[in-house]
Chains A and B, each alone.
Chain A
Amino acid sequence: MEKYLLRNIENPNSADINEYVKAGGYKALAKAMDMKPADIIEQVKKSGLRGRGGAGFPTGMKWAFAAADPKMPKYLLCNADEGEPGTFKDRPLLEKNPHLLIEGMIISGHALRAKYGYIYLRGEYPQAKDILEAAIKQAYEKKFLGDNILGRGVKFDLCVHQGAGAYICGEETALIESLEGRRGQPRIKPPFPVNEGFLAKPTVVNNVETFSNVPYVLEIGPEEYSKIGSSDCPGPKLFSVSGHVKKPGVYELPMGTTLRDIIYTHCGGVTGDKKLKAVIPGGISTPVLPADKLDCPMDFVNMPKHGSMLGSGAVMVFDETVDLPKVCLRAIKFFEHESCGKCTPCREGIGWMRSILGRICGGTGNAGDIDLLLEVSKNVMGKTFCPLGDGAATVVQNFIKNFRNEFEAHINNKVRAER
């Protein structure tokens, strides 16, 4: 497949506006400026584009909700908080192809009649901040941003806001709280951001990759776009592959490429040609899959049928040598550290799970610990305020479901060692 999102990134000056324009950039913007906002929304709807932030919500539908709310002004927020462990797919877009994101946001802003956009950038991406700000400056100079975009009288201002290093601020309502200057914690929904988001005004939050797809939709038209990859969630998709593969990295592939294809065709197979033991297909919050589930198409619709989720498309590959309970412990430590503290089960339950896992991995686990762990995860699951806590419970449950023997081995080894 021809690359779109990552086209041109081999060019060392890909972040420069002139290079971007040379490669055909900002053409979609010119096209969009001649379109009625409602028509842009219609095209995005028709394209079948779904959000790339993890939940896969239909983008056109989200926009239509915000557009239908009469409150003004409307705000456009880009979720560039990319914090899900294993995920680094937005980073090349931010650092190598910032103008694609900016172009996508200007078009989206026009579609929504939003005059202000913010890029909420992960605090740990300082280079991206400089690159984005330089790119935004260039876009202002070229009149792609500002009060009179391309002389069409359309206004859109864009700036970068740097997060302070909390994973939860990737959750859209926590992101909004944080952007408003408060503690990053999710809000009660409803009201949804499309009706009462930033400063209580209709707000669209989309992922970096989502916005970056928008110019493409306009460039090739929704019909052509919808033919790429899976039929009910089409388009190009970035996969960030890490772990035991020969060629880890970010791959732009059609939606619906199978895990097997990603690992063996594109990434060259498992390092040292060892046996594959497990894959986490979509970022740490998605259920781990055993080696026999590699033939599922990676998209929002098919993954759940195979017991996992597409999530952010962050594929983590573990070979036969990996101690999976330790992976599980590491993941839970992450969730514990990142629990925003708002709700009881996540705030207290994850720490408890971590301490049980710690005992198990540390060789001091007890016979009943696995069941206790499952019990605690059950008490967390479905009771938290936002999906973060559920994510932690999912991790524990799926690791145990698929690899219980490894946990038991830890506990029993201790027994043997003591003997």
Chain B
Amino acid sequence: MITVTINGKQIKLEKPVSILEAAKMTGIKIPTLCHHKSLEAYGGCRLCLVEIEKMPRLQASCTQYVTDGMVVWTETGRVVEARKAMLEFLLINHALDCPYCDKAGECDLQDLVMKYGPAAGRFTEGKRKHPESYDDPIIVRNMERCISCTRCVRMCSKVQGASAISMVNRTSKTFVEPFSGGRYNCEYCGNCINVCPVGAIMSRLHKHTYRPWFIEKTVDTVCSFCGVGCSVTAQIRGNSIVRIIPESEKGLNRGLLCNRGRFGYDYISNSGRLKSPMIRKNGSLQETTWSEAFMYIAQKIKEIKEKNGGAAIAGVASGRCTNEDNYVFQKFMRLVVGSNNIDSIAGFAYAPARKFFEKIFGQGVTANPIQGISRSDGIFVIGGDPTAINPVLGLQIRAASQKDIPVATVGYAPGLKGFAANRLIPKPSTEAALLAALLTEMLKRKPLPAEKTPFEEIIGKIQPVSLNEAESACGIASGEISACVDSLSGMTNPALVIGRDIIQRSEGQANLLLLAALAQALNGRIYLSSELPNEQGLIDMGCLPDMLPGGRPVAVDSFRKRYGEFFNAEVPSAQGLSLMEMVEGAHSGNIKALYVMGENIAFNIPDNKFVKDALSRLELLVVQDIFTTETTRFAHVVLPAASWAEREGSYTNLEGRMQHLKKAIDSVAGLEDWKIIAEVSKVLGVDMNYRDSRDILAEIAKVSPLHKGVTYEDMDSGECMWPYKGEPLRHDLNIVGIDMPDMKALLKKPEKDKVYIGVDKVLFHSASLSRNSFALNSIYSEPHAKIGKNLAAKLSVASGDHISISTGAGAIELAAVIDSDMPDNIVLVPNNFEGRGAFRVMGWKMNAAFKAPALDGMEAVLKKLERVSAEVSE
């Protein structure tokens, strides 16, 4: 026990903390500048100096730790003088252009000088000159204002792990500069901007657009981009969001954001937003009234249902819509339309993976807190780069690595290069061989118990794969594989972060089984990457062909009956179609009507041409969206929806945390998705009677056993975690329906000399929504094809040269970017840009187990184009 006295107040501490922290605990505030709670101590600004009895010198309270019996004074004459002196020093080379500086009003230096500083400085010589830098599209640097606190540099290197910037020069000529020189070319998370105490680095996008005191209202809500679900604060003036900042006190992101969350929200004010309902008349979409649109849809649905039955109608839900939207959508499809044909893009990878793991380990097995990643004792990453898919989750992995926690990555995960001690990059589609070898070796070191659980029985039957077999299949030296096993076997409760690339495959189920077995052998916790903010939620809300709200199977009579009885209606018993089956159905004519809520299926499903063909055969295509998309172009009715900022609701993130999405601004034209559906339902004779999203949540809280009694207030507490206050589904230990992987087939080598095309998950974009963000387009405006150095050499292609990529499905032309780190026989293309997305040229095979498209890396032919273009860099 340590006893310290600060300003006469005694406190007892279990373990030593800094004087600054101890003072904070007693409610004493010591002014600081270089200190930041999410960064390690630095001790540079010397503002926090305090007097300690028996020590002749003043001490920096942020770096000095308390010791037993220490007596500290924080406001003595000496301390006050010193503080004043430090502020006087800081102003020597500080621009003092507060009237022009955007930071004024929320500037730590300004506030401190007002409070503690001298009235006037005594320095009379000229200040240093350093012209403001506009070399970057996102970040403006004004180094005349920099106080060299290095908070930005520590943020970038130690927390963001990007190490993009550094202090340069010495003495008062010290300033901050990106390693790349002018343009930052960094991850653009903006976390450096967020921690800068002054106006030295600021967002160019927000320059001179507002002053802190213009902010009329702030709304704490959730980011709209990915499955992490960072807490953000929207600052509002009039009816527009002037800025998004992370909530610093609450939220799993603890004050961090990624580029999408911080800057990408500007799509909501894009002038291209849909403003009016439209109906196709004489071949073209024409503006109409809401009521006419509702009548039209209802009429059509009625006709088709009468003629072809409810099963001829299908609905596509969205991971961008709220739980409330998705809940209402499935209710509409099941009880009003009479069809279980409900699915979404989540059905391609996230949902099948989750279902698979839940079948083995029980419901909620993937509901693990993201913060736990950096506290685990090992991390295994496969199937995608979490630092691009779920950036703030990715930071947890980097943080762990910086604490010397071993990280192993399988596959090309560029954002974890330098963080992973074991980095295994198998040849395309050979991960299963590698996983099987890892499992085989692990089981040698940690054999299965004599008394086996049913799953362990299954693991015992998986055919072993030797290191050599794996080496010849996946091209990774057996020594490297066994080094990875060495590292894995030292872990007692690692985090397994699994991405879509390993799931959305013909051998997807084999991969999942091997991963589940590995998770069992390692005692690991599973995290599923999720590209959309509410994939987990839409599943929980029952937007699956075979699941009702709360994850209750449609096939179980009692669940179906109970749900139906609640509304005096009947839930159809036949299992519905998956999204890919719906598309096939539309193509073959079995599906006559498709109702799409907030999804761009003509772009986000592989083989765009086939999908468009299918859509063009429909009798009715209804699309609710906020923008014109590839899909709305085929629609019979287009309905403008309210954006993420314009509605209330909830999202459930990949950890199963429910979070409260709050309405920040009023919608200009669109309606909440649930409202549109409820209106259509009303015309069809079923009045859902919701006044607002609260009414919907209240209903969810009654009908979904998992969400019993859940409220927005629970979510606002920040800890509305799975399984809430509800009842998870009982786990059936007898695991049935798991096919043993055919190892012989999985050990097949990919054909040499062939080049396969894969999807590049770009950090700066999010499906097709982000193309409407000015900010994200300024960072990443053109799609590039990424290739490895050997492939580039073979094609004599340099970065920036244009290449054509053709497959059986079509061809695209893109500028090439060479990444020396990439495997040889693969080309990666993002799927974000109109007309040039990877899915334009990527085909698929139906994965029978998941009823989802398998992307097995399609063979592609690359050719250099004789077209000179500007240098492309990334």
A residues bordering B, Cβ < 8 Å? 166, 168, 183, 188, 336-345, 347-352, 355, 372, 379, 382-385
Contact = CB atoms under 8 A, between A and B. Distances in A.
B86 A339 contact: no
Given A339-B171, A341-B171, A348 B92 contact: yes
Interface string B47-82: 101000000111010010000000000000000011
B471 to A, nearest CB: 33
B41 A347 contact: no
B43 A351 contact: no
A352 B86 CA distance: 13
Given A183-B166, A352-B123, A379-B89, A343 B174 contact: no
A341 B46 contact: no
Interface of B: 41-47, 49, 56-58, 60, 63, 81-82, 85-86, 88-90, 92-93, 122-123, 125, 147-148, 150, 166-167, 169-174
Contacts of A383: 46, 49, 57-58, 82, 85-86
Contacts of A339: 170-172
Contacts of B125: 352, 355
B60 to A, nearest CB: 8
Contacts of A372: 122
Contacts of A347: 89, 148, 171-172, 174
Contacts of B166: 183
Contact of A341 (B41, B85, B123, B174): B174
A351 B85 contact: no
Contacts of B49: 383
A351 B169 CA distance: 15
Contacts of B45: 343-344
B153 to A, nearest CB: 9
A183 B167 contact: yes
24 contacts: A166-B170, A183-B166, A188-B42, A337-B170, A337-B171, A338-B171, A340-B170, A341-B167, A341-B170, A341-B172, A342-B44, A342-B148, A343-B43, A344-B148, A347-B174, A348-B90, A351-B92, A352-B89, A352-B92, A382-B57, A383-B49, A383-B82, A385-B43, A385-B44
Q: Which secondary structure characterizes the binding site on chain B?
A: loop
A41 to B, nearest CB: 28
Listed residue (B85, B171, B173, B174) with the most chain A CB atoms within 10 angstroms of its CB: B171
A348 B127 CA distance: 11
Contacts of B171: 336-341, 347, 350-351
A221 B166 CA distance: 50
Listed residue (A337, A338, A348) with the most chain B CB atoms within 10 angstroms of its CB: A348
Nearest to B33: A344
A82 to B, nearest CB: 19
A386 to B, nearest CB: 10
Listed residue (A188, A350, A384) with the most chain B CB atoms within 10 angstroms of its CB: A188
A340 B171 CA distance: 5
Contact of B46 (A166, A345, A350, A352): A345
A321 B172 CA distance: 33
Nearest to A358: B125
Given A344-B44, A345-B86, A382 B170 contact: no
B122 A345 contact: no
A336 B173 CA distance: 10
Given A341-B171, A344-B45, 12 more contacts: A188-B63, A340-B170, A340-B171, A341-B148, A341-B167, A343-B43, A344-B89, A344-B90, A348-B172, A379-B82, A382-B57, A384-B46
Nearest to B175: A341
A336 B57 CA distance: 22
Nearest to B86: A344
Contact of B41 (A188, A340, A349, A355): A188
Contacts of B42: 188, 342
A117 B161 CA distance: 30
A345 B89 contact: yes
Nearest to B64: A188
Nearest to B41: A188
Contacts of A338: 170-171
Contacts of B92: 348, 351-352
A215 B324 CA distance: 80
Listed residue (B89, B122, B166) with the most chain A CB atoms within 10 angstroms of its CB: B89
Contacts of A336: 171-172
A378 B223 CA distance: 50
A342 B171 CA distance: 8
Contacts of A385: 43-44, 46, 60
Given A188-B63, A348-B90, A379-B82, A341 B169 contact: yes
A190 to B, nearest CB: 8
A184 to B, nearest CB: 9
Listed residue (B43, B81, B147, B166) with the most chain A CB atoms within 10 angstroms of its CB: B43
A379 B79 CA distance: 11
A349 B170 contact: no
A345 B85 contact: yes
Contacts of B46: 343-345, 383-385
Contacts of B57: 382-383
A348 to B, nearest CB: 4
Q: Which 3 A-B pairs have the closest CB atoms?
A: A341-B174, A379-B85, A348-B89
Contacts of B170: 166, 168, 337-341
Contacts of A337: 170-171
Contacts of A350: 171
Contacts of A349: 89
B401 to A, nearest CB: 15
Contacts of A183: 166-167
A322 B174 CA distance: 34
A342 B45 CA distance: 8
A341 B41 CA distance: 16
A345 B82 CA distance: 10
A107 B47 CA distance: 45
A341 B150 CA distance: 10
A48 to B, nearest CB: 27
A351 B170 CA distance: 12
A134 to B, nearest CB: 33
B835 to A, nearest CB: 45
Nearest to A188: B63
B58 A382 contact: yes
Contacts of B58: 382-383
Contacts of B174: 341, 347
Listed residue (A340, A352, A379) with the most chain B CB atoms within 10 angstroms of its CB: A352
Nearest to A347: B172
A309 B716 CA distance: 63
Contacts of B44: 342-344, 385
A352 B82 CA distance: 16
Nearest to B167: A183
Listed residue (B41, B49, B92, B170) with the most chain A CB atoms within 10 angstroms of its CB: B170
Contacts of B172: 336, 339, 341, 347-348, 351
Contacts of A351: 92-93, 171-172
B124 to A, nearest CB: 8
A372 B123 CA distance: 10
Nearest to A341: B174
A97 B92 CA distance: 47
Contacts of A341: 148, 167, 169-174
A344 B167 contact: no
Contacts of B41: 188
A349 to B, nearest CB: 5
A384 B44 CA distance: 8
B155 to A, nearest CB: 16
A342 B43 CA distance: 8
Contacts of B173: 341
B348 to A, nearest CB: 44
Listed residue (B85, B93, B150, B174) with the most chain A CB atoms within 10 angstroms of its CB: B85
A372 B86 CA distance: 15
B78 to A, nearest CB: 10
Contacts of A340: 170-171
A178 B479 CA distance: 34
